[in-house]
Amino acid sequence: IYQAQRNLVTINEKVSVWRISDGWYLKYFDGSSAAFSHDGGLLAVGTRESSINFYETDNWTLLETVGILEEEQPIVEGNFFGYIRGSSVAFLQFANQGKLLISVTDGNIIQLWGVP
C-alpha cells in the first residue's frame, strides 16, 4: 500500500487508486508496482511488460510511457530518461524530492529515472 497526500494505491493483480478522505474508488491500472510523486501530482505505474506509465493525478491522464529500446541503451522519451531491461517492474519509489524515480525489476536490477 502506497499513500500520497490525498490518494492511496493498492496492488493486487492490478493497481487500484482510492481517495483517502472518503474511501472512494477512483481508478485502476494494469500494473505490478506504483508510486506517487512527493507532491501527489504524478503516479508512476510499473508494468509486467517492462515499461513505466506516468499519470497526472488530477484527471488520470497518461503523460508518458517509457519502455524497452535495446538492453542497456539509454531511453529518452519526452521528458523522462533512464535505463530499462526486459523484465517486470517490481518496485517503484520517488526520491530526491521527486526528481528521481528508482525502479527495481523482478530480476533485481535497479534503474534510475530522471523526472522533470
Distance, in Å, from the CA atom of 108 to the CA atom of 4, rounded to the nearest integer, reads 25
Q: What is the pLDDT of residue 76?
A: 54
The burial class, CB within 10 Å (0-12 / 13-18 / 19+), for 8 is middle
Q: What is the CA radius of gyration of the chain?
A: 13
Check: CB of residue 83 under 8 Å from CB of residue 76: no
Q: What is the pLDDT of residue 98?
A: 85
What averages of pLDDT result for each successive group of 10 residues across the chain (116 residues)? 67 86 89 90 87 91 75 53 65 90 82 83
Per-residue burial over 17-44, b if 16 or more Cβ lie within 10 Å, else e, is: bbeeeeeeeeeebebbbbbbbeeeebbb
Q: What is the pLDDT of residue 8?
A: 77
Q: Is the pTM of this model over 0.85?
A: no
Check: CB of residue 112 under 8 Å from CB of residue 102: yes
